[in-house]
């Protein structure tokens, strides 16, 4: 009897892996626990052990092959006397596809429908410096940090696992090698302390980039972010500014449950003295991070773990930046406005396609890019044109960014509205672990469509 | 130890007296409703900051707690502008937007004035990080109240400072009470200077009522830190004559305890030394007293006549 060895899922968000190295060859006898391969995941390179025993009958991928889906057979072990037929396309692929859809993990990269959704907006395509090559969001972030560190030696990065480990999500990959341990610093798991330290360094004139492994851990340090970083310019009568970027993944990843899946966009957006940015594509991640690093104020830069693998073209000019406080009209439309940011941009675009196909609604999508200061002008101009607006975001509903937008729209564009503003948010509960409940918790395309129908009075 | 010149004795006496007179005047203005909010006086603790002052380089940085008026005076800052901040006027060091607890002077490397217990400790550690990062020989003096010594971020900062050998001198001003709770009711283990031991940070306890003891310890500790050996902790045993803040009647301690400390008044110790060493005559001392009183009176006058910040200032300094 033979057994297939499958590409394992080695992290919560891993959907595919690269086969870095085989540690076995055809004909070897393996025992359970033997190391068989090195797999590069979205986060790290890891060794994989055999679970079953037998002789290696076949290796189905060569070393160096990339983007092998999770659960795809990579090797076959068994009894050498038994004849084995290796299918070119194992049915497991279908299972994977279904599982991905079911898990609602954003797999735009290899998903056909997603190809349409990821088409850059017209404005981006007009960018004459747009790269022909597509890079991931994590690479865009990494490149921008490296470019800014080359320009200004006052810029340094600190955080947990940013140096030798190469970043918990590989966003700081290679920075230690290029800039050395004086400028790329691994910290202890000590957010309160190292955040205060970085704030002090910024008061004294350095320009720290502080990575929170995830923003969930920023709660340990929130006193230093708000009471020290955000308020000191004001309290010192304009003497002491704090040029620091707090960055890292924010919001839900995949099944990491309540303490590791929280959206902090409205928390930080409430605070005068902070600027808050939430990029949605490699293109705007690059332009916005450069603005954040150059800004003389503390900036909260909310990334999204699921988006780290999202690929897209970028502008490779080392001075290209996108101004803080300016929203992007991702798609123009005339029937209703969707205001969104970060990962919900992708879902909103998918919803817009279906709204067009199924209800002939022409949706305008505004990607906020910056949450504070909020680009109210772009929002109001859009509402004055479409007369209907919904907000789509991952945060909890109470006092969310959408709540503030609803307030501004009813105050400043009341006479233009043909229906009440509707907000789409996550459920008002802690994030559950179970896959089925997690999906229910997060805003889905159907939720956006329902909200759009409601403001359009479509039954 | 640093060899003290005659002028040093006069300088110490003048600064300590200036702090005392300033705080007394601040208490008066508070009583008159000219100063609002929280106001924490430094009376009794003058020898600590003045002792440290005697060993400081002007390019060294300082960061302290909310009991900061005396620290600013010792830094050579103008009492008029300090008092104007207390009265919330536009000539104050923070243009009236910070108040007693949040005062800064970047040009004098004075980084506050922090209202959150313990928060200044990682910040001071970060300022020291910058001195090292920039290859400067300067150090950051980070003051800590005894109350903060039970606060988690302090230990996180100690760990980082020792791990990265940062040029930071931690000065614990142990005035025996964190608000109304005595140290022995708050800290398990009363030797606060030993709390860096686990991180390999040397510590020392000194008599903070006697400025000469403070100078000796600060001199030694400052050299150690400046030479790149990493952080150092001095625990200065001191006492505040007044309550925690203006609204604190200090019922948690006895009158005898207070009177006892007043027997070792830090200003009187310096004065006695000056007279003993014949550095100045009684008349000369009297002149300093009179001049100091006058200077502080003028500061109060200035601070109560300075205009309130303009309404338009409400929205400035939020972003640079």
Integer Cα distance of A168 and A44 in angstroms: 8
Q: What is the CATH number of the domain that holds A374?
A: 3.40.50.920
**Checking DSSP bridges between strand A68-69 and strand A16-22, what pairing results, if any?**
antiparallel
C-alpha to C-alpha distances, A193 to A218, A423, B78, B90, B160, nearest whole angstrom: 11, 37, 33, 34, 8
**Checking DSSP bridges between strand A299-303 and strand A245-249, what pairing results, if any?**
parallel
- Residue A110, helix vs strand vs coil: coil
Whether the Cβ atoms of residue B313 and residue B90 lie closer than 8 Å to each other:
yes
Give A189's pLDDT tier (boundaries 50, 70, 90).
very high
- Helix ranges (DSSP H) in chain B: 6-31, 46-53, 69-74, 79-86, 120-133, 152-163, 183-186, 211-224, 255-262, 266-276, 282-305
Q: Are residues A201 and A298 in the same domain?
A: yes
Q: What is the CATH number of the domain that holds A89?
A: 2.40.50.100
Decide if pLDDT at B296 tops 80: yes
In a domain, A114, yes or no: no
Q: Are residues A23 and A92 in the same domain?
A: yes
Number of domains, chain B: 1
In a domain, A321, yes or no: no
Cβ atoms < 10 Å from Cβ of A29: 12
Among A315, A338, A355, identify where a domain stops.
A315
Chain A contact present for B151, CB below 8 A: no
Among A269, A295, A315, identify where a domain stops.
A315
Chain B contact present for A192, CB below 8 A: yes
Q: Which of B97, B112, B126 sits opposite A197 (nearest CB)?
A: B126
Chain A contact present for B30, CB below 8 A: no
In a domain, A289, yes or no: yes
| Cα dihedral sign, A180-B199-B232-B234 | positive
Give the residue-averaged pLDDT of A439-444.
96
What is the CB-side half-sphere exposure of residue A254 using CA atoms within 13 A?
A: 19
Q: Are residues A293 and A331 in the same domain?
A: no
Q: What is the CATH number of the domain that holds B112?
A: 3.40.50.970
Q: Which of B156, B318, B319 sits opposite A193 (nearest CB)?
A: B156
Look at B93 and A237 and tell me if their CB atoms are within 8 Å.
Answer: yes
In a domain, A159, yes or no: yes
Task: Return the percentage of chain A with pLDDT > 90, whole number.
Answer: 75
pLDDT tens per residue across span B130-175: 999 999 999 999 999 999 999 999 999 999 999 999 999 999 999 9
Q: H-helix or E-strand containing A410?
A: helix A401-412
In a domain, B319, yes or no: no
In a domain, A117, yes or no: no
Q: Are residues A199 and A279 in the same domain?
A: yes
Q: Are residues A331 and A310 in the same domain?
A: no
Give the residue-averaged pLDDT of A175-182.
97
Residue of chain B minimizing CA distance to A198: B126
* Terminal CA-CA length for chain A: 57
Integer Cα distance of A34 and A54 in angstroms: 11
In a domain, A381, yes or no: yes
In a domain, A330, yes or no: yes
Chain B contact present for A153, CB below 8 A: no
* Terminal CA-CA length for chain B: 44
pLDDT tens per residue across span B63-120: 999 999 999 999 999 999 999 999 999 999 999 999 999 999 999 999 999 999 999 9
Decide if pLDDT at B190 tops 50: yes
DSSP string, B157-184: HHHHHHHTT--EEEEEEE-SEETTEEHH
Task: Return the percentage of chain B with pLDDT > 70, whole number.
Answer: 99
Whether the Cβ atoms of residue B71 and residue B287 lie closer than 8 Å to each other:
no
Among A276, A293, A315, identify where a domain stops.
A315
Whole-model pTM?
0.88
128-147 of B, contacting A, C-beta below 8 A: 128-131, 133
Low-confidence winner among A72-81, A415-424, B40-49, B108-117 (lowest mean pLDDT):
A72-81
Residue of chain A minimizing CA distance to B142: A200
What pLDDT does A426 receive?
97
Q: Are residues A85 and A135 in the same domain?
A: no
Chain B contact present for A190, CB below 8 A: yes
Q: Which of A193, A228, A235 sits opposite B98 (nearest CB)?
A: A235
User: Average model confidence (pLDDT) for chain A?
Assistant: 90
Instruction: Determine the distance in angstroms separating the CA of A224 from the nearest CA of chain B, rounded to an integer.
Output: 7
Q: H-helix or E-strand containing A288?
A: helix A282-294
Look at B126 and A235 and tell me if their CB atoms are within 8 Å.
Answer: no
Whether the Cβ atoms of residue B145 and residue B117 lie closer than 8 Å to each other:
yes
Q: Are residues A273 and A415 in the same domain?
A: no
Helices A191-203 and B152-163 meet at what angle, rounded to 10?
70
In a domain, B313, yes or no: no
What pLDDT does A121 receive?
66
206-265 of A, contacting B, C-beta below 8 A: 206, 223-224, 227-228, 232-241
**C-alpha closest to that of A291 among A362, A173, A373, A367:** A373
Name the residues of A annotated as catalytic.
191, 260
Q: Are residues A331 and A415 in the same domain?
A: yes
In a domain, A107, yes or no: no
User: What b/e string do you get for A57-66 counting C-beta neighbours within 10 Å, with b at 16 or more?
Assistant: bebbbeeeee
Residue to test with chain A: of B68, B156, B159, B163, most A Cβ within 10 A: B156
Phi, psi of A300 (to 5 degrees): -95, 120
Both tokens assigned to B51? 């002792």
Residues of A whose CB is below 8 A from B152: 192
Those residues with Cβ within 8 angstroms of residue B300's Cβ, 6 or more apart along the chain or in another chain: B25, B28, B29, B83
Domain of B65? 6-306
Number of domains, chain A: 3
Q: Are residues A138 and A95 in the same domain?
A: no
Decide if pLDDT at A220 tops 90: yes
Residues of B whose CB is below 8 A from A182: 133
Computed on alpha carbons and rounded to an integer, the radius of gyration of chain B in Å comes to 19
Q: What is the CATH number of the domain that holds A149?
A: 3.40.50.970
Chain A contact present for B104, CB below 8 A: yes
Domain of A250? 122-315
Q: Are residues A178 and A200 in the same domain?
A: yes
Residue to test with chain A: of B96, B123, B133, B315, most A Cβ within 10 A: B123
């Amino acid at each position: 009897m033979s057994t297939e060895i499958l590409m394992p899922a080695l992290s919560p968000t891993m959907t595919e892996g690269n086969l870095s190295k085989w540690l076995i060859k055809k004909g070897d006898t393996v025992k359970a626990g033997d190391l068989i391969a090195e797999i590069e995941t979205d986060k790290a390179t890891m060794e994989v052990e055999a679970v079953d025993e037998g002789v290696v009958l076949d290796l189905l991928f060569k070393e160096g092959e990339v983007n092998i889906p999770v659960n795809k057979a990579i090797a076959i072990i068994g009894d050498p006397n038994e004849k084995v037929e290796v299918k070119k396309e194992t049915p497991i692929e279908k299972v994977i596809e279904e599982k991905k859809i079911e898990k609602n993990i954003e797999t735009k990269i290899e998903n056909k429908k997603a190809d349409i959704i990821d088409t850059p907006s017209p404005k981006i395509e007009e960018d004459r410096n747009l790269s022909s090559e597509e890079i991931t969001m994590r690479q865009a972030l990494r490149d921008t940090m490296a470019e800014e560190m080359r320009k200004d030696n006052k810029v340094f990065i600190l955080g947990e696992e940013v140096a030798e480990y190469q970043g918990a999500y590989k966003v700081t990959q290679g920075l230690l090698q290029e800039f050395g341990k004086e400028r790329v610093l691994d910290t202890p798991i000590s957010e309160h302390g190292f955040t205060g330290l970085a704030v002090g360094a910024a008061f004294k004139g350095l320009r720290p980039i502080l990575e929170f492994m995830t923003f969930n851990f920023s709660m340990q340090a929130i006193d230093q972010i708000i009471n020290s970083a955000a308020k000191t310019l004001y309290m010192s009568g304009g003497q002491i500014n704090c040029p620091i970027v707090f960055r890292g993944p924010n919001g839900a990843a995949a099944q990491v449950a309540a303490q590791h899946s929280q959206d902090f966009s409205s928390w930080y957006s409430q605070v005068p003295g902070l600027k808050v940015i939430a990029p949605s594509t490699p293109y705007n991640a690059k332009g916005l991070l450069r603005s954040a690093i150059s800004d003389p104020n503390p900036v909260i830069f909310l990334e999204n773990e699921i988006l780290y693998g999202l690929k897209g073209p970028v502008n490779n000019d080392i001075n290209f930046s996108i101004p803080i406080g300016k929203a992007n009209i991702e798609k123009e439309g005339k029937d209703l406005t969707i205001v969104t940011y970060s990962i919900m941009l992708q879902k909103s675009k998918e919803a817009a396609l279906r709204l067009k196909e199924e209800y002939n609604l022409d949706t305008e999508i505004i990607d906020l890019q910056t949450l504070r200061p909020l680009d109210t002008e772009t929002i109001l101009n859009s509402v004055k044109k479409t007369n209907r607006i919904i907000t789509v975001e991952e945060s909890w509903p109470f006092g969310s960014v959408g709540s503030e937008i609803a307030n501004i729209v009813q105050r400043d564009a009341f006479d233009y509205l043909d229906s009440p503003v509707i907000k789409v948010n996550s459920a008002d509960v802690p994030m559950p672990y179970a896959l089925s409940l997690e999906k229910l918790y997060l805003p889905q395309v159907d939720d956006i469509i329902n909200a759009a129908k409601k403001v359009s009075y479509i039954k | 130890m640093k060899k003290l010149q005659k002028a040093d004795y006069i300088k110490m006496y003048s600064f300590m007296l200036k702090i005392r007179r300033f705080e007394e005047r601040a208490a008066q203005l508070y009583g008159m409703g000219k100063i609002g909010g929280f106001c924490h006086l430094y009376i009794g603790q003058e020898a600590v900051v003045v002792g440290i002052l005697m060993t400081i380089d002007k390019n060294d940085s300082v960061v302290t707690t909310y009991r900061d008026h005396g620290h600013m005076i010792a830094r050579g800052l103008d009492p008029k502008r300090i008092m104007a901040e207390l009265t919330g006027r536009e000539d104050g060091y923070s243009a009236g937007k910070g108040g007693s607890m949040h005062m800064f002077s970047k040009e004098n490397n004075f980084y506050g004035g922090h209202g959150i217990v313990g928060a200044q400790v990682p910040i001071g550690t970060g300022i020291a990080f910058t001195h090292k990062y920039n290859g400067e020989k300067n150090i950051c003096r980070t003051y800590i109240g005894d109350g903060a010594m039970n606060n988690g971020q302090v230990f996180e900062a100690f760990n980082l400072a020792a791990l990265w050998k940062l040029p930071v001198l931690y000065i614990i001003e142990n005035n025996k009470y964190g608000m109304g709770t005595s140290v022995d009711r708050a800290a398990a283990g009363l030797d606060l200077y030993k709390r860096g031991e686990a991180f390999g940070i040397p510590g020392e306890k000194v008599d903070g009522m006697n400025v000469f003891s403070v100078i000796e310890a600060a001199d030694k500790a400052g050299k150690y830190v400046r030479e790149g050996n990493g952080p150092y902790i001095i625990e200065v045993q001191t006492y505040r004559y007044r309550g925690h803040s203006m609204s604190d009647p200090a019922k948690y301690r006895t009158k005898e305890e207070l009177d006892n400390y007043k027997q070792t008044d830090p200003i009187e110790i310096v004065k006695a030394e000056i007279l003993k060493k014949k550095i100045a005559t009684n008349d000369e001392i009297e002149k300093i007293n009179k001049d100091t009183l006058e200077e502080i009176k003028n500061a109060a006058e200035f601070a109560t006549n300075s205009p309130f910040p303009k309404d338009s200032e409400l929205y400035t300094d939020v972003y640079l």
